[in-house]
Amino acid sequence: MTGTVPGPAPTFLGLPTAPRGVGHLRGDEPFPDAARTALRDGQLRANLGHATSTIRAKRATVVGEVPDWEQLRAAGKALKAATMARLDEHLLELETRVTERGGTVHWARDAREANEIVTRLVQATGTHEVVKVKSMATQEIGLNEALEAAGVDVFETDLAELIVQLGQDKPSHILVPAIHKNRAEIREIFLRTMPSVDADLTDEPRRLAMAARAHLRERFLRARVAISGANFAVAETGTLAVVESEGNGRMCLTLPQTLVTVMGIEKVVPTWRDLEVFLQLLPRSSTGERMNPYTTTWAGVTPGDGPQEFHLVLLDNGRTAVLADEVGREALHCIRCSACLNVCPVYERAGGHAYGSVYPGPIGAVLSPQLTGVEDNASLPYASSLCGACYDVCPVAIDIPSILVHLRAEHVEAQQRPTPEGVAFRALAKVMADPRRWRLAQRAARAGRLLARGRPTLPAMPPPLSGWTRSRDLPTPPAETFTQAWVREHGS
């Protein structure tokens, strides 16, 4: 399977990025081209606008209820930074605890290896079908395709993922992956693909949800193997946690004999107590609920309750390359709440598919290019107006705008020649270095245009995308980091 596609250049310190030719971290076309296509889709824009504004409002209400939100947010950020600084030790502790509790831990260098491990584990059970609960990591590595190639039928059980799978489509949002489909389209997909569906099915959401319930019920009851992701894994206790709404997660985590969980290595947290922070931050930021309907936690195997065989696959796939970048590593703190998508003016207009990766929106713009190496997702760091809204809502306070600027500099440097873009960056660096000029630039809100000048694609975008650069305020400039880096890399 290897060898046909040249790997991306190793980054910084020689750590390998996610391999090409497997998984879903790279799009078929650069962001501006894909965004242009999306902008022509009025239905998509209307759905997205409705979705993002509704979730934004819910989030704001429930976050406003919490008097110590900023303290929780600061604790979340500090916990993630502390975890990354000792990542190897926490993973080893997690491995020990999970093993003590009857689980088996596997390590995967990349997508291909993870897919091979999971395929082998499934085949060893003798089954030809698995039920699956929505997981970003397994989408990232293209696990469904790998299993299907090995003759295993994969049933996505999250309603939105089911819609996406049955429609042979791609997810477009982390939290509500089928948000680009309306009820009439969903009804049509169900009528076409669910063998035993009632022909009188209407497009009422309740009826559609009940059709999905009926479709999956029997599969849950007969499934022998389930595959999940994990939101958190506690090193000191070996406890895994999955946060969900529909109960499909509970079905997968409770009923089958064998459970295989695939988890990015950055999901570990050191102590049980740390969950008191994240279980407050995540639901309010994500669905805008005080708490999501269901959270399941388990440690290894419990006799008489749930799967009696448990495998945990720890996945690198470019994460260590991200960890090597002192600025960019903050992207590994992400708890996948999707709040940054919902506030992003670019995401709201372009939609999730334009990002080409399973990680869309602001977090995708900083995570995907780092996982793949910036040359493989070169347009993504520009898929932002640097307005700073993503940073403000992020429950773990990831400074996405600063990472974007950092990656743009890295991309420019990678090109190793004086481009118009390089000139624009040089000018921006100057402006950022001078507080008076920076304020002027902010007032005039022209810095975005300055940034984009070197890229023929960005200014060519039709309205309303052209509006970002006209009307966005830039965040407080990350002047120090950026300027210092610039001077170091290019001279002043």
Residues of this chain that interact with ligand SF4 (CB under 6 A) are 285, 334-340, 363, 393-396, 398
User: Among ligand SF4, other proteins, none, what does residue 323 contact (CB within 5–8 Å per kind)?
Assistant: other proteins
CB of 387 to ligand SF4, least distance (A): 14
CB of 182 to other proteins, least distance (A): 6
User: Among other proteins, ligand SF4, none, what does residue 173 contact (CB within 5–8 Å per kind)?
Assistant: none
CB of 194 to ligand SF4, least distance (A): 32
CB of 286 to ligand SF4, least distance (A): 7
The yes or no reply on residue 312 touching other proteins (CB under 8 A) is no
Region for 21 from its dihedrals, namely left if φ exceeds 0, alpha if ψ lies in -120 to 50, beta otherwise: left
CB of 53 to other proteins, least distance (A): 10
SS3 category, 363: helix
Q: Which two tokens stand for residue 64?
A: 């406003």
Q: Which two tokens stand for residue 473?
A: 């305020």
Interacting positions 123-162 with other proteins (CB under 8 A)? 157-160
User: Among other proteins, ligand SF4, none, what does residue 394 contact (CB within 5–8 Å per kind)?
Assistant: ligand SF4
Name the β-bridge partners of 130: 154
Say which DSSP state 302 is in. Answer: B
| Nearer to ligand SF4 among residue 153 and residue 276 (C-beta) | 276
CB of 120 to ligand SF4, least distance (A): 32
464 cis-preceded (ω within 30 degrees of 0)? yes
| Nearer to other proteins among residue 72 and residue 432 (C-beta) | 72
CB of 279 to ligand SF4, least distance (A): 14
User: Among ligand SF4, other proteins, none, what does residue 396 contact (CB within 5–8 Å per kind)?
Assistant: ligand SF4
The yes or no reply on residue 320 touching other proteins (CB under 8 A) is yes
Spatial contact of 380 and 396, defined as CB atoms under 8 Å apart: no
DSSP labels for 130-199? EEE---HHHHHTTHHHHHHHTT-EEEE-SHHHHHHHHTT----SSSSTTTTS-HHHHHHHHHHH-TT--T
Sign of CA dihedral 26, 402, 469, 453: negative
Rounded CA gap, 285 and 88, in Å?
Answer: 29
User: Among ligand SF4, other proteins, none, what does residue 113 contact (CB within 5–8 Å per kind)?
Assistant: other proteins
Interacting positions 248-307 with other proteins (CB under 8 A)? 248, 250-251, 253-255, 265, 272-273, 275-277, 279-280, 283, 287, 289-300, 302, 304-306
Interacting positions 31-90 with other proteins (CB under 8 A)? 47, 50-51, 54-55, 67-68, 71-72, 74-75, 78-79, 81-88
The yes or no reply on residue 121 touching other proteins (CB under 8 A) is no
- Applying CB under 8 A, among 208, 387, 429, 474 the residue interacting with other proteins is 208
Here the contacts of 12-17 (C-beta below 8 Å, separation 24 or greater) are: 12/321, 12/324, 12/325, 13/324, 15/320, 15/321, 15/323, 15/324, 16/109, 16/110, 16/318, 16/321, 17/318, 17/321, 17/370, 17/371, 17/372, 17/373, 17/376
Binding part of the chain for other proteins, among 8-16, 138-146, 460-468, 478-486 by CB under 8 A, reads: 8-16
| Nearer to ligand SF4 among residue 250 and residue 336 (C-beta) | 336
Region for 317 from its dihedrals, namely left if φ exceeds 0, alpha if ψ lies in -120 to 50, beta otherwise: left
CB of 401 to other proteins, least distance (A): 23
* C-alpha 14 chain-centroid distance: 24
CB of 394 to ligand SF4, least distance (A): 3
Q: Which two tokens stand for residue 105?
A: 């831990």
